[in-house]
Amino acid sequence: MTNLRFRRQFPYHLMILPGLLFILIYNYVPMTGIVMAFERFVPSKGMYLSPWVGWKNFEFMLNMPGIYQVIWNTVFIALMKIIAGVVVPVVITLLLYEAKSRWFKSSVQTIVYFPHFLSWIILGGIFVDILSPSTGMLNEFLGWFGIKPIYFLGDVNWFPFTLVGTETWKEFGYGTIVYLAALTGINPTLYEAATMDGAGRFKQAVHVTLPGLLPMIVLMTILSLGNVLNAGFDQVFNLYSAQVYRSGDIIDTLVYRIGMEDANYGVATAVGLFKSVVSFVMISVSYGLAYRFTSYRIF
Partner 1 sequence: MRQRSSTGRKTFVLFNYFILTVIAAACLLPLINVLAISFSSSSAVNSGLVKLWPVSFTLKSYEFVLNKPEFVSAFIVSLKRVIVGVPLNMLLTILIAYPLSKEKSEFRWRNQYAWLFVITMLFSGGLIPWYMAIKMTGIIDSFWALILPGAVPVFNVILMLNFFKSLPKEIEEAALMDGAGVWQSLWKIVVPLSAPSVATLTLFCIVTQWNSWFEGLILLNNPDGYPLQSYLQTVLVNRDMSLMTSADALTLRSVSDRTSKAAQAFVAMLPVLLVYPFLQRYFTQGIVLGSVKG
170-189: contacts with partner 1 (CB under 8 A): 173-174, 177-178, 180-182, 185
| Strand, helix or coil for residue 232 | coil
- Binding-residue total with partner 1 (CB under 8 A): 98
**Does residue 103 touch partner 1 according to CB under 8 A?**
no
Smallest distance, partner 1 to C-beta of residue 107, A? 7
CA 188 vs CA 59, 79, 175, 230: distances in Å = 60, 35, 23, 39
State the first-to-last Cα distance of the chain, in angstroms, to the nearest integer. 29
**Does residue 256 touch partner 1 according to CB under 8 A?**
yes
Which is nearer to partner 1, 74 or 269 (by Cβ)? 269
Of these, 22, 55, 68, 293, which contacts partner 1 (CB under 8 A)? 22
**Does residue 143 touch partner 1 according to CB under 8 A?**
no
- Positive or negative: CA dihedral 186, 191, 197, 201: positive
**Does residue 161 touch partner 1 according to CB under 8 A?**
no
Of these, 59, 197, 234, 262, which contacts partner 1 (CB under 8 A)? 234
* Burial call 197-232: b when 16+ CB within 10 Å, e when fewer: eebeeeebbeebbeebbeebbbbbbbbbbbbbbbbb
| Complete DSSP assignment for 242-256 | GGGHHHH--HHHHHH
Smallest distance, partner 1 to C-beta of residue 76, A? 22
Q: How many angstroms separate the CA atoms of 216 and 234, rounded?
A: 27
Smallest distance, partner 1 to C-beta of residue 60, A? 15
Give the contact letters, 51-90, x = binds to partner 1 (CB under 8 A), - = no. ----------------------------------------
**Does residue 221 touch partner 1 according to CB under 8 A?**
no
Q: How many angstroms separate the CA atoms of 250 and 185, rounded?
A: 39
Smallest distance, partner 1 to C-beta of residue 269, A? 5
Of these, 60, 76, 161, 191, which contacts partner 1 (CB under 8 A)? 191
User: In this structure, what are the phi and psi dihedrals at residue 39, rounded to the nearest 5 degrees?
Assistant: -125, 160
**Does residue 25 touch partner 1 according to CB under 8 A?**
yes
Other C-beta atoms within 10 Å of 12: how many?
Answer: 9
